[in-house]
Amino acid sequence: MGKKIGIGLVAAVMGFVILYGAGVINFGGSADPTNTEVPVGVVPAFVDQTDASWLLNPESKATSNLVIWEDPQCPACALFEAGFGTSVKKLIADDVVRVSLRPTTFLDRGYPGRNSARAVNAWACAIEGGAGLKFHDTLYANQPAKEGTGWTDEQLQGFGAEAGISGSAKTTFDKCVVEGTYYKWGVESTKMFDDLGVPGTPNISLDGVEMPVDVLKQGPAAFIAWVTNNAK
């Protein structure tokens, strides 16, 4: 008697496992019901076509690469930008390293509204508009207090104005934000984020070596020293 129930139960669970594994049953990550039209978009030409990173200083003569992974909705990323944004710019000004920013939108999995993906798209629109870094800084400086709240299209367009995009470029930018012209950038970059098993955000590495957590705790001077001492 017990054995029969047992076999039935195990069979039921195994069936469930197969269905779940095949993706027939899916408890999480269902499409956002409030926003059914997800743009396709393209990967912009101004990002690296193989790894979807955006190199801040292509003119650099440095040989070491500092890579920074961020999700626009990640509070720790906003803290990093507030505390170390100027340090990164100093490293660029002194030509210590090449700096690549790599976006991920993995936090969208936990919140409605595809806010990280829309923000990454808007960021690409701003790069096209010639104000990529300023938009990036404005975006993180204006992260909502509560994680997951996100931004409206109007807010993202406002950040573009704040970053200095104006005139006909602003018209193009605004359209790009709404239409999701570069939506695919976030999608492709997040795929790589998953495939590489990046442990979280922000994630900072120099030539493939992850920065120890204690470095950021010690402040900007320690951060600059770590990068400078470990750069080739």
Partner 1 sequence: MIKKIWNHDYFGLLARLVLAGVWGFAGFIKLGEEGGARDAIAAYRLGITGDLLTILGRLLPIVEVLLAVLLLVGMFVRWSALASTLLLGIFIVGIAQVWARGYAIDCGCFGGGGDVDPEGRHVRYTVEILRDVAFMALSVRLLRNPRTAFSLLPESVTKEKV
153 versus 210: smaller Cβ distance to partner 1:
210
Binding partner 1 (rule: CB under 8 A), the pick from 27, 50, 168, 221 is 27
Pairing of strands 203-206, 209-210: antiparallel
Residues 186-205 within binding reach of partner 1 (CB under 8 A): 194-201, 203
Nearest residue to 55 via CA among 24, 20, 92, 93: 92
Residue type, 95: D
28 versus 58: smaller Cβ distance to partner 1:
28
| DSSP E strands, the chain | 54-55, 65-70, 98-103, 203-206, 209-210
Binding partner 1 (rule: CB under 8 A), the pick from 210, 218, 219, 225 is 210
Residues 213-232 within binding reach of partner 1 (CB under 8 A): 213-214, 217
Using the rule CB under 8 A, is 29 a contact of partner 1?
yes
List the Cα angle 218/143/183 in 5-degree steps.
110
The residue to which tokens 């367009």 are assigned: 157
37 versus 214: smaller Cβ distance to partner 1:
214
Pairing of strands 98-103, 65-70: parallel
Residues 100-159 within binding reach of partner 1 (CB under 8 A): 106, 109-110
CB of 189 to partner 1, least distance (A): 15
CB of 109 to partner 1, least distance (A): 4
Nearest residue to 51 via CA among 188, 209, 225: 188
33 versus 199: smaller Cβ distance to partner 1:
199
Within 13 Å and on the Cβ side, how many CA atoms surround 38? 14
Q: Where do contacts with partner 1 occur on this chain (CB under 8 A)?
A: 2-3, 5-6, 9-10, 13, 16-17, 20-21, 27-29, 76, 106, 109-110, 194-201, 203, 210, 212-214, 217
